[in-house]
Amino acid sequence: MKHAATTFERINISLPKTTVKLIDKFARKGGRSRFIDTAVRRVIAQNSSKRITELLKEQAQKNASEDLKIVQEWFELEQVTMYEKKKAKS
């Protein structure tokens, strides 16, 4: 199976000196680009996951009242069915 070659693009960015010092503290020598790539991808993945969680929560809150109505309807139906079964056994 052939793997697609990763292409790179050189960019110039400006970072605060303290940030560069942090990168140099944790990145292997000559590995700044890889370290920054990994960090950016992780932040994006985390933010994407958080956004998905937020959207799911929003949707659940929007549907909560409808869900409650459905549960109440089924509960009432279940109560009637149980009453009728008990009545039939008597």
- Exposure string of 21-34, with b = 16+ CB inside 10 Å and e = fewer, is eeeeeebeeeeeee
User: How far is it, in rounded angstroms, from Cα 31 to Cα 82?
Assistant: 69
pLDDT at position 62 is 87
pLDDT at position 2 is 55
| Residue 42, helix vs strand vs coil | helix
DSSP 8-class letter at 32: H
pLDDT at position 4 is 63
Count of CB atoms situated within 10 Å of the CB of 36? 15
Check: pTM over 0.85? Answer yes or no.
Answer: no
Q: Which residues in the chain show pLDDT less than 70?
A: 1-4
